[in-house]
Amino acid sequence: MDVVAEIQAEPKLETDELWFKDAVIYQLHVKAFADSNSDGIGDFAGLTEKLDYLEDLGITALWLLPFYPSPGRDDGYDISDYRTINADFGTMADFRRFMQEARRRKLRVLTELVINHTSDQHPWFLRARRSKPGSDARNWYVWSDTDQAYAGTRIIFNDTEKSNWAWDPVAGAYYWHRFFSHQPDLNYDNPRVLAAMIQIMRRWVDLGVDGFRLDAIPYLCEREGTNNENLSETHAVIKNIRAALDSHSRGKLLLAEANQWPEDVSAYFADGDECHMAYHFPLMPRIYMAIAQEDRFPITDILRQTPDIPTNCQWALFLR
């Protein structure tokens, strides 16, 4: 039976496109949640067995941390293949069964999609480093003959990384990375990169996924003379992603992971045509601060600093 037809044969979820407004989302790591075959690694078969338990908790959606093939140097956020699942977590048949059983319980499923960078073991990078400078294959990533470009950009992991550039002896050039040096940044000035990422998203939507947590989106584009965060070019990329996703399947969620202040993060809602949700990172520690101080001020103070957002958008409020 066709995979999409098989999933659609299951009970359909409510068609409300604003379902995320009051969603109760449970985050989990497949590899650490339930092990069905006693190999010491959680898997989709084990997760499927636990769906009744999760449903009984009263949740309405599951957010799965990265489950794609990966060298595992950054807990799965270094993706080497966006199209399938890590073999340690089972097979695509296991994933399809999980999606079917989640649908039976009317649970929505969100996945991680790391769109800023890949693993240096991804076929795109392995091809790019061996391709001629200036070629299309090479330009899937950001390269330079020196490590002095974009000097105004902060180093995020300054305890382990000394530069945002890393030398690649195979390419004979430096490549750009905002996170670890084994995670080269994709080049969204190359339209083929955006087209490929949109195609990947469509694939997972066709497999039943209800939305994507877009990891590290403030850093998608680079321009000399800026700090390379929250650029207008980055917002243009996200608008294109949103439009493509809406045209393919309405009601699918884009959740922005932008660990910055509300006035900066709110731009990722735009006019309601970029991300549907974004994390309110400063609120979370202030909840604990308010409890410790027995004073609501830490919460009310940050909420006063939080700008209004479009009515079809929602802040993601979380505890950890």
| Tens-digit pLDDT profile for residues 219-278 | 999 999 999 999 999 999 999 999 999 999 999 999 999 998 999 999 999 999 999 999
Same structural domain, 58 and 137: no
260 and 278 Cβ atoms separated by less than 8 Å: no
Our measurement of the distance from residue 303's CA atom to the centroid of its chain's CA atoms, rounded to an integer in Å, reads 25
Task: Provide the domain count of the chain.
Answer: 2
Same structural domain, 74 and 195: yes
Q: Which residues pair with 211 in a beta bridge?
A: 110, 253
Same structural domain, 173 and 270: no
- Give the Cα separation of 56 and 248 in Å (integer): 32
Domain-embedded: residue 128: yes
Residue whose token pair is 């449903």 = 55
Helices (H) and strands (E) in the chain, counts: 11, 10
Same structural domain, 137 and 103: no
Which of 185, 207, 228 is the last residue before a domain boundary?
185
- Condensed to tens digits (0 to 9), the pLDDT of residues 118-162 reads 999 999 999 999 999 999 999 999 999 999 999 999 999 999 999
Which amino acids are annotated catalytic? 215, 257
Question: In the numeric block, which tokens belong to residue 122?
Answer: 């991804």
Domain-embedded: residue 10: no
Q: Residue 319: which pLDDT band, with cuts at 50, 70 and 90?
A: confident
Which of 185, 211, 231 is the last residue before a domain boundary?
185
Same structural domain, 134 and 225: no
List the domain range (segments joined by +) for residue 226. Answer: 19-118+190-316
For the chain, the 3-state helix, strand and coil shares in percent, each to the nearest 5, are 35, 15, 50
Beta strands per DSSP E along 85-209: 108-114, 143-144, 165-168, 173-176
CATH at residue 132: 3.90.400.10
pLDDT of amino acid 320: 80
Distances in Å between the Cα of 1 and the Cα atoms of 8, 48, 92, 146 are: 11, 21, 14, 53
Same structural domain, 252 and 231: yes
> In 130-190, which residue ranges form alpha helices assigned H by DSSP?
none
CATH at residue 104: 3.20.20.80
